[in-house]
């Protein structure tokens, strides 16, 4: 029912956005209607992104597990983030446990989840600072820890960290067919791996995301 409702809402939203864009092309830049038309298009794009995110939450996440090098997956995710946010006052510092053996992962899906968590951190940090990403081992689990400082985060923010739309950032940037992986979906992905993910706050401004994945 939720998926059908989202699709039903998306159809008129897409139509309104498309028609408004066509009208804008017929206006002169100096036409006062141009500014109003751009406002309509901007709001329609926001609605389209929210609807796309809603559909992403509803869609089942399937994890196809096979043996992967966790450090390589983490490194690839870090390289992707560094490439996207290069020339910023922002960096990712890895601390990788070279003694880790391969574990069963859906490498692509897990990489997307890590990228999304780091993007979320980037915007929570106000687009500057350092994320520390560490891998390790704790008992029968391989671990991945993300740590970063933010200007302000409350206990309520931590409690609702995995709630949809809990932080304002361009979660659905890009074209309409681009895959979306937002923080609430990341939690589902970790659970599909038989893993655990939790978030804690230290020293008022230090956020730590702890991920545990079964070694076997």
Residue 68: the pLDDT is 93
For residue 149, the model assigns a pLDDT of 94
The pLDDT score that the predictor gives to residue 57 is 66
Is 46 strand, coil or helix? helix
Q: What is the total residue count of the chain?
A: 216
- DSSP letter for each residue of 167-208: S-S-TT-S-TT-----HHHHHHHHHHTT-EEEEEEETTTEEE
- Report pLDDT digits (tens) over 53-83: 666 666 666 788 999 999 999 999 999 999 9
pLDDT over 90 percentage in the chain: 41
Among the residue ranges 19-28, 94-103, 113-122, the one predicted with the least confidence is: 19-28
Q: Do 148 and 130 form a contact (C-beta atoms < 8 A)?
A: yes
Quick one: average pLDDT of 17-28? Answer: 86
Q: Average of pLDDT values for 114-129?
A: 88
Rounded to whole angstroms, the maximal C-alpha distance in the chain is 67
Q: State the average pLDDT over residues 129-148.
A: 95
Provide the 3-class DSSP secondary structure of residue 90.
Answer: strand
Among the ranges given (24-38, 40-54, 177-191), the one the predictor scored with the smallest mean pLDDT: 177-191
Looking at the chain, the whole-number percentage of residues with pLDDT higher than 70 is 84
Distance CA 206, CA 158 (A): 11
Token pair 């990712």 is at which residue? 92
CA–CA gap between residue 70 and residue 105 (Å, rounded): 8
pTM of the model: 0.74
Q: Nearest Cα to 137, choosing from 197, 211, 191, 61?
A: 211
d(CA 16, CA 40): 9
């Amino acid at each position: 029912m939720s998926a059908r409702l989202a699709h039903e809402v998306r159809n008129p939203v897409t139509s309104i956005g498309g028609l408004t864009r066509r009208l804008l092309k017929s206006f002169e830049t100096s036409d006062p209607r141009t500014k109003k038309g751009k406002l309509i298009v901007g709001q329609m794009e926001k609605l389209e992104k929210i609807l796309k995110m809603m559909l992403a939450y509803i869609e089942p996440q399937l994890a196809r597990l096979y043996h992967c090098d966790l450090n390589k997956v983490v490194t690839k995710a870090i390289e992707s983030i560094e490439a996207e946010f290069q020339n910023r006052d922002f960096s990712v510092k890895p601390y990788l446990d070279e003694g880790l053996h391969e574990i069963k992962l859906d490498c692509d899906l897990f990489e997307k989840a890590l990228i999304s968590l780091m993007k979320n951190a980037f915007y929570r940090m106000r687009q500057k600072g350092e994320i520390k990403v560490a891998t390790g081992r704790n008992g029968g689990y391989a671990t991945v820890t993300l740590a970063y400082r933010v200007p302000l985060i409350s206990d309520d923010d931590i409690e609702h960290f995995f709630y949809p739309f809990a932080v304002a950032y361009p979660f659905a940037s890009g074209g309409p067919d681009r895959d979306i992986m937002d923080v609430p979906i990341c939690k589902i992905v970790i659970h599909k791996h038989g893993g655990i993910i939790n978030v804690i706050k230290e020293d008022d401004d230090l956020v730590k995301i702890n991920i545990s994945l079964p070694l076997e």
